[in-house]
Structures are given as C-alpha cells and as structure tokens.
Chains A and B, each alone.
Chain A
Amino acid sequence: MTVTVRLFASYAESLGRSELSLDLGASATVADVVNAIAAMPGASRLPPAPLVAVNCSYAVTTTNLSDGDEIAFIPPVAGG
C-alpha cells in the first residue's frame, strides 16, 4: 500500500519536508510509519512517540492502515 505522510511546523522544519509518500506492506500499522520517519535525517529532533493522526483522527501505534491513508505527525499545538 501507499500512504501519504504529512509533517507540520517544527517537525516539517526538522525533516526538511512537509509531505512524502511511503510504500508499506499489506498489513502496515502506524508504528511502521513512525519507524520509517524516525530513520530519516533530522528525525532525532522529533519526540520518540509523536502524536499521530490518520485521516484527521488521532491514532495509536497499533492502528491499521489502508492504501491511500493520510498519516499526520502533530507537534504540540499553539493556536490563538
């Protein structure tokens, strides 16, 4: 399956990009995406267990993914 990963704010700055595609195995979970991102240059500035959303809903590492899902890494929010 192919999923889209979105990065925001300080996370996007740390990894030098705001969006990428990942090819994953058929039974992939959020943990697979977290591990893939953690292996990228600049990822050491992300927390070990970042908040993650799948298709705009918060998810946990065991959440199963489907082809076409959008996985977002959510830094601490600071609106207002």
Chain B
Amino acid sequence: MMRASIVSEPIDVASLTREAASDSCGATAVFLGTVRSTNDGREVNGIEYSAYEEMAEKEMRAILGEASAKFVIRGGVIEHRVGVLKVGEISIAVVVAHPHRHYAMDALRYIVDQTKARATIWKLEHYADGTREWVNAGSGAPR
C-alpha cells in the first residue's frame, strides 16, 4: 500500500502502521514529526500548518514512487496534518515497510527529507509572547 495525504484530523499512527505493514516485510519503520516547544531560542505555543493540498499530495506521491524505485519498499504511507497544532502534537507521520530493516530505515530518511524539502506546506509559528512568524519565509514579515 502506497498513500500520501494531507489531513486535518489527528494522525492515528497505529492505523498507518497497519496500512503500510505486510506479512512479507520484516521491517516497518516509523517517523513522527512533532511540534517542538522552542525554535531559535523562542518559546513556541503551537504551529499553524497550511498546504497547497493537491500539489503537496502529488509531490508526496512522487516521493513514494522514487523511494519504491530506489529502495524497493513494499509499503509507504505519508500523512501531513494541517491546521493549528499544539506543542507535542504530530504534524507528519511516515511509515515504510520493507523485508529488511536497513532498506526500510534508508527509505524512511529519504521520504522524510524529501517531503520536508519539496511538499508545498507552510508553517506559521505561534510564540508564547503572542507574536507569529512564517518559518523559512526569508523576507516574510514577522507579525
């Protein structure tokens, strides 16, 4: 099973793991990205994620296809959540299944890194002092 989705509800890791795993795979590797309480020394209350959903899902499906070609994974699921997330909540989950662990873990790193670099997703950090700022926006004005 290969699937890539933008979701607005909390991510159910157990469900994704069942979806990606299979009897032919001895390794199921899981990555969870969660909202961190600090960034660049500033206290973070939460992150507001938004996405160009159609393009993000297209790009994430392409990344799963690349991982299939490079690592011959048997299963791969990416879910990225949008909306306002509190510290500790899961923003992204990636699950990869392969007969052997090394390939599963290499594929997992590839998918996570490529998704962060390429998927059309943005985050607006909400700080404890009441300010908000777009992450990675270069000249984007703080607010």
A residues touching B (Cβ–Cβ < 8 Å)? 6, 8-10, 13-14, 45, 47, 53, 56, 72, 74-80
- Once A78-B121, A79-B119 are accepted as A-B contacts, the answer to whether A9 and B137 lie under 8 Å apart by CB is yes
- The contact sample of 5 A-B pairs, CB cut-off 8 A, is A53-B120, A56-B58, A74-B55, A75-B137, A76-B136
- Once A80-B33, A80-B91 are accepted as A-B contacts, the answer to whether A9 and B50 lie under 8 Å apart by CB is yes
A/B pair count, beta carbons within 8 Å: 78
Do A77 and B136 have beta carbons less than 8 Å apart?
yes
- Once A56-B54, A56-B55, A56-B58 are accepted as A-B contacts, the answer to whether A77 and B140 lie under 8 Å apart by CB is no
- Once A8-B50, A10-B122 are accepted as A-B contacts, the answer to whether A45 and B140 lie under 8 Å apart by CB is yes
Do B139 and A77 have beta carbons less than 8 Å apart?
no
The verdict on B42 contacting chain A, using a C-beta distance below 8 Å, is no
- Once A8-B52, A80-B91 are accepted as A-B contacts, the answer to whether A75 and B140 lie under 8 Å apart by CB is yes
A11 to chain B, nearest CB (A): 9
Do A80 and B136 have beta carbons less than 8 Å apart?
no
Do B119 and A77 have beta carbons less than 8 Å apart?
yes
Bound form: Cα–Cα A56–B57 in Å: 10
| B23-55 interface code vs A (CB 8 A; 1 in, 0 out) | 000000000010000000000000001111011
Contacts of B69 in A (CB 8 A): none
| B45-81 interface code vs A (CB 8 A; 1 in, 0 out) | 0000111101110100000000000000000000010
Q: Which of B116, B117, B135 counts the most A-chain CB atoms under 10 A from its CB?
A: B135
Contacts of A14 in B (CB 8 A): 141
Do A75 and B122 have beta carbons less than 8 Å apart?
yes
8 Å CB contact of A45 from B54, B92, B123, B141: B141
Select from chain A the residue with minimum beta-carbon distance to B82. Answer: A79
Contacts of A8 in B (CB 8 A): 50-52, 120, 122
Contacts of A53 in B (CB 8 A): 52, 55, 120
